[in-house]
Amino acid sequence: MDGGPDGRWIAADESGWDGEALFQPTEPYMTIGSVAIDDGDAGTVLALLRRDAGIKQAGELKFSHFARGGNQRRLEVLATALEPGGMLAGRASIFMIDKRFFVTAKIIDLLLEEYAHENGVDLHADDQARRYAQKLIEEGPRALGAPMFNELIRVFVRFGGIRNRGQALVEVAELFQVLDVAERRSHRRAITDILGMLVRCRAQADELQKTMLEPDFLLAMEPLIPAMPAVLNEWSRQIGPASLLMDAHKVLTDDRIDILWKAMTAGHPDFRFLWTGVRPRGLARGDSLEHPSIQLADLVAGAGRAVAHFHEGLTTPTAEVGAALATSVAPLITPHSLIAHDEPARFSRPKESRGHPPTRS
């Protein structure tokens, strides 16, 4: 129940997670749906959704029940529940993760930010780190050519990824060989400058790789690690002290949740820019079968992922579902999402219809 020492409860679930495959054209986005609702009220909402959508299947209610077969009645019921004035109005939110942006932002955070800090420069003070990451996403493929840009992202994902038996998947020398080639190949000044700065971060990369091999290191290339605290923080801005109930996930083991909780509450440097006054009350994992609130979070996450497919222009059944939900879902996307811009309204339409010409060098 809401209230008490744990504050309000927020339930969260993800859609689009695919391990370390963070740079593939068929699944470029990941979403975390969250709802500010306790299990008692969530059960009532689920019952009403079942009734209105004519869903009689036993077991938990999933987004697939609404999306399967292009059932317009069911999609309209879900869209109505999510839009202003609907059953979940003011109680649902979507944290959108563009995996390509996540990877490029990590390049900045793990290497360049540390290099700049050691030289007396705070890249986060004026949001410079985010702007560098945005620039890499927007101009990198054209500056380097898609194959070179993809190779740069691939090698960095493996450099920061899960280690097998304590061994690095990609050594520092291999990473910097690719960075060096990319810098020399770049034909856009802004990208050349960013890559030139990264090439000077060899010492930071050596130290980072040592740190990553330590057992309590939070997985560098796992979006759930920074995203779940960000979801809780965003809700805390709106409703005050809150606790987060996450769907059971193999990445969020008990040990990692303990590490994450200590980092969030003890001023860990990885979270020094995250919390702004309101501190978290608790983190917990739960089973969606036992928690109706997590089932609602699944519906919200699935709707967000479908809209992301529609926005990306993918030719998939999921994208077709997203077209029917886009108007209701786009306003739920938080501007603090891990995306390469601050305009969630863009997700209400395909990329091609933004109405401005491509950037020219």
Q: What DSSP assignment string belongs to 268-326? A: -GGGTTT--SPPP-EEEEE-TTT-HHHHHHHHHHHHHHHHHHHHHT--SHHHHHHHHHH
Distance between CA 170 and CA 67 in Å, rounded? 40
β-bridge mates for residue 247, sequence order: 286
Q: Which residues pair with 10 in a beta bridge?
A: 36, 244
Name the amino acid, one letter, at 129.
A
Distance CA 36, CA 17 (A): 22
* H or E element, residue 15: strand 8-15
What is residue 227's predicted lDDT score, i.e. its pLDDT? Answer: 87
Q: In the 8-state DSSP scheme, what is residue 167? A: B
Helix, strand, coil share (%) of the chain residues, nearest 5: 55, 10, 35
Q: How far is CA 112 from CA 2, 37, 108, 203, in A?
A: 42, 40, 5, 11
Q: How many residues does the chain have?
A: 361
pLDDT of residue 361: 32
In angstroms, the Cα distances linking 305 to 29, 96, 233, 250, 347 are 7, 8, 21, 20, 10
Closest CA to 249 of 9, 14, 10, 11: 14
Mean pLDDT, 10 residues at a time, the chain of 361 residues: 70 88 83 95 96 91 91 95 94 94 87 84 82 90 92 86 63 93 96 94 89 71 84 86 88 79 61 54 88 96 97 92 96 91 92 45 32
Query: What per-residue string of b and e applies to 301-335 under the rule 16 or more CB within 10 Å gives b?
Result: bbbbbbbbbbbbebeeebbbbbbbbbebbbebbbe
Closest by CA to 233, choosing from 288, 273, 269, 186, is: 273
Q: Which of 99, 59, 55 is CA-nearest to residue 75?
A: 55
Place of tokens 């996540």: 102
CA-to-CA distance for 33 and 45, rounded, in angstroms? 16
What is the three-class DSSP state of 119? coil
φ, ψ of residue 7 to 5 degrees: the values are 70, -155
Please give the single-letter amino acid code of residue 251: V
**E strands of 148-228, at which residues?**
none
Determine how β-strand 29-36 pairs with β-strand 92-98. antiparallel
Helix (H) or strand (E) holding 209: helix 202-212
Q: What is the pLDDT of residue 24?
A: 78
The answer to whether 32 and 300 are in contact (CB under 8 A) is: no
CA-based nearest residue to 102, from 219, 221, 204: 221
Task: Give the C-alpha separation, 253 to 225, whole Å.
Answer: 11
C-alpha to C-alpha distance for 159 and 172, rounded to whole angstroms: 8
Which residues does 154 contact at the CB level (< 8 Å), separation at least 6?
Answer: 23
